[in-house]
Amino acid sequence: MRNYLITGLFLLTFLNTYAQDWRSLFNGKNLDGWETHGGKAIFDIEDGVIVGKAVLNSQNTFLCTKERFSDFILEFDVFLPNNLNSGVQFRSNIKANDRVYGYQCEIDPDGSRAWTGGIYDEANRGWLYPLSRNEKTRSAFQLGRWVPIRIECLGNDIRTFVNGTHASWLIDDLTREGLIGLQVHSIRKGQEGFQVKWRNIRILTEDIEKYRHPIDPAVPQISYLKNELTAWEKAKGFRLLWDGKTSDGWRGAKLDGFPESGWTIEDGVLTVEATDGGESTGPGDIVTTKNYSNFELELEFMFTEGANSGIKYFVDPTLNKGAGSAIGCEFQILDDKRHPDAKMGVMGNRTLGSLYDLIAKKAPSRGRLRGAGMWQKARIVSRDGKVEHWLNNEKVVEYDRYSQMFEALVNYSKYQKWENFGRWPEGLILLQDHGNEVSFRSIKIREF
């Protein structure tokens, strides 16, 4: 009996201490400490709950804290009685035109996507952690019910939890401090009067590590650190395929060494310079010095206006020693809006993210594609013949390179003359020179 009493007292003391560390951000009576930015949506208080009401002809509206926060754990309950997209900003800031921008924990009632708990960079980079990388969490949010959500920020480590389920795990060092904001999204006709409600908004700003939730080992980490591996990536077997400083591990596709000019390395960015827009008519493609078969490749790329390039894999540079690029499967890099190649080929199979000239990409979520001058993520996974293309963490292509369908596609493409194209057991990885300026960084790989 004595042991039970001691245990109970210890637990009560711990819970009391834990409760005292939290601070409420909403007093349940008024909006002291909060201010509205952006659009014209209405924020009211009803029965101790903040109610956001959408209005027509308004941009996204945000009820923001006046106080700024850096490292914290934020908890709140959200209630959506209708399909109004929403979100909670954190570490966010305000532009001169009163536009709120920065990290957002998405609240997404759209059953076809259901990315509540994903992380979106509002009015900036777009999706950073879509739940296409963590499908099992998509069912954690429930429309028409109060749902608890938790956001943890400690340094560059950001995690979200929906209804107790680990949703996202982002590593990003762009913003370390900012506002917290409740979003009422812009609406279309027919959504007048749609609402979103919040309650129990509280924050913890001390001893963050002590109170963090356990990580779900099935949740992948997505990192945006430049040319740097996280401890999680190292544990999973990733290594940098380019060190961010030298040409080690790379050579010209038709050279014994690295091109003497035309490819530059500056501030952790590898760039092929613009020439005449031709295929490998400038400094030429570069390839790895090692072959790969089963692998996961991830990198960031940025193209200039009207640019064309590509990331090739299963490359055999001995097949084409004349003019043009080395031969291999290609993750297309293209400015779809400006380059004529986007309208060539068959049904869009030469657009950004597609398996060039063979398989058109699936349209990313709500058509969100980043354009020229923006860093984008490419991810290629090859395992036992199954290949996937991921663009900005959404899967846009998948195929089996040993299937009859793939063989048929090759037989009706420009690759038909290359025997056993795409089915070689291994090959080099290539970054393409297509005569336009394109940059690369954070190139990492792991082998299976």
- pLDDT at 7 (0 to 100): 41
The architecture that CATH gives domain 231-447 is Sandwich (2.60)
221 near 175, Cβ under 8 Å?
no
Quote the pLDDT of residue 365. 59
The percentage of residues in the chain with a pLDDT greater than 70, rounded to a whole number, is: 94
182-224 pLDDT, tens digit per residue, is 999 999 898 988 999 999 999 999 999 999 999 999 999 999 9
> 268-316 pLDDT, tens per residue?
999 999 999 999 999 999 999 999 999 999 999 999 999 999 999 999 9
Could you tell me the CA-to-CA distances from 344 to 157, 196, 431 in Å, in that order?
A: 42, 45, 22
Tell me the pLDDT band of 11, cut-offs 50, 70 and 90. Answer: very low
> Spelled out in words, what is the top-level CATH class assigned to the domain 17-223?
mainly beta
Residue 369 has pLDDT above 80, yes or no: no
> Higher-confidence residue: 4 or 28?
28
Mean pLDDT of the chain, nearest integer? 93
Amino acid identity for residue 274 in this structure: A
| pLDDT one-digit tens code per residue, 101-138 | 999 999 998 878 999 999 999 999 999 999 999 999 99
pLDDT score recorded for residue 8: 46
Residue 10 pLDDT more than 80? no
Question: In this predicted structure, what is the pLDDT of residue 367?
Answer: 46
CATH 2.60.120.560 residue window(s) in the chain: 17-223, 231-447
Are 354 and 397 within 8 A, CB to CB?
yes
**Confidence category of residue 435, pLDDT binned at 50, 70, 90:** very high
